[in-house]
Amino acid sequence: MEILFAIAIGTVVTASVYLFLSRDLLRGLLGFILFGTAVNLAILLAGRVGPMRPPLVDAAVLGAGAANPLPQALILTAIVIGFGLTAFALILTLTAHREFGTTSVEELAEAETPKVPANTAAAATRREAA
């Protein structure tokens, strides 16, 4: 089961990286979300999976046979934070699109570049030194 789990996570990572590398900001954002999901699953798996019983204390202590509570606590906050960041990134994308009319990474890079080319500053220093 764990081996299958690891392989399944690997496929999600693969898809997320492929989307990340896209020219389109929106697809990149989807890659970001998928990557977060994969990481959450990886945390769950690294804490070992198996029991179906949730980590709720029936008697005095949790005892054996319940799922591991620690990764769950980590994942819970990670999900919500990831969601916050996703929404933030989406709004950034939206702002960029509104400003420059594109969500293409390359076109945005061009739109962002200041009028002076990046290497003029270095050239100026060079002239200075000469």
Partner 1 sequence: MTMVHTPLLLLPLALAAAAAIAAGFLRPRLAAFVGCGAAAAGFAAYLAMAGGVAEGVRATAPLLAVPTLGIGGGLALDGLALIFALLITGIGALVFLYSADYLGADRRLGRLSVMLLVFMLAMLGAVTADDIVLLFVFWEMTSLASFFLVGFNHTERGARQAALQALLVTGAGGLALLAGLLLVAGAAGTTSISGIIAARDAVLAAPTAVPAMLLVILGCFTKSAQVPFHFWLPNAMAAPTPVSAYLHSATMVKLGIYLLARFNPVYQDEVLWQTILTWFGLVTSATGAVLALRETDLKRVLAYTTITGLGTLTLLIGVAPAEAATAAMTFLVVHALYKAALFLVAGVVDHETGARDASRLGGLGRAMPLTALAACLAALSMAGLPPFVGFVAKELVYAVKLDGESSALLVGVGFLVNASTVAIAGVLSLRLFFGTRQPTPRAPHDPGLAMLAGPILLAGLGLIAGSMPGLLGDRLVGPAAAAMLGRPADVHLSLWHGPSVLLALSIATVAAGMAIFAAWGRIVPGMRRAAIVDVAGPAALYERGLARLLEIAAGTTRAIQHGSLRGYLRLLFAVAALATLATLLLRDGLRLPAFDAAGLDARALILLGLPVGAAAAALAPTVFVAILAMGLVGFTTAALFLVFGAPDVAFTQFAVETLLVVIFAAAIRYLPIRRRGYRQRRERVADATIAVGTGLAVTLALLAVLGTPYDSRLSDWFGDQSLAAAHGRNVVNVILVDFRALDTLGEITVLAIAAFAVTALLRPIPKDQTR
Partner 2 sequence: MNDSLILRTSAPLLLWLSIAVSVFVLLRGHNAPGGGFLGGLMGAGGVLLYAIARGRVAAIRFLRLPPVAYCGIGLLAALASGLPGLLGEAPYLTHLWAFPAGLPLGTTILFDLGVYLVVLGTITAMFLALVGD
Q: Which of residues 62-91 bind partner 2 (CB under 8 A)?
A: 76-77, 79-80, 83-84, 87-88, 90-91
Site for partner 1 in 19-58 (CB under 8 A): 19-24, 26-28, 30, 33-34, 37-38, 40-42, 44-58
Maximum alpha-carbon separation in the chain: 81
Q: Which two tokens stand for residue 16?
A: 């997320």
Q: Which two tokens stand for residue 66?
A: 């319940």
* Cα torsion angle, 14, 18, 21, 24, sign: negative
* Cα torsion angle, 118, 122, 123, 124, sign: positive
Site for partner 2 in 94-113 (CB under 8 A): 94
Site for partner 2 in 7-66 (CB under 8 A): 54, 56
By CB under 8 A, name the binding residues for partner 2.
54, 56, 76-77, 79-80, 83-84, 87-88, 90-91, 94
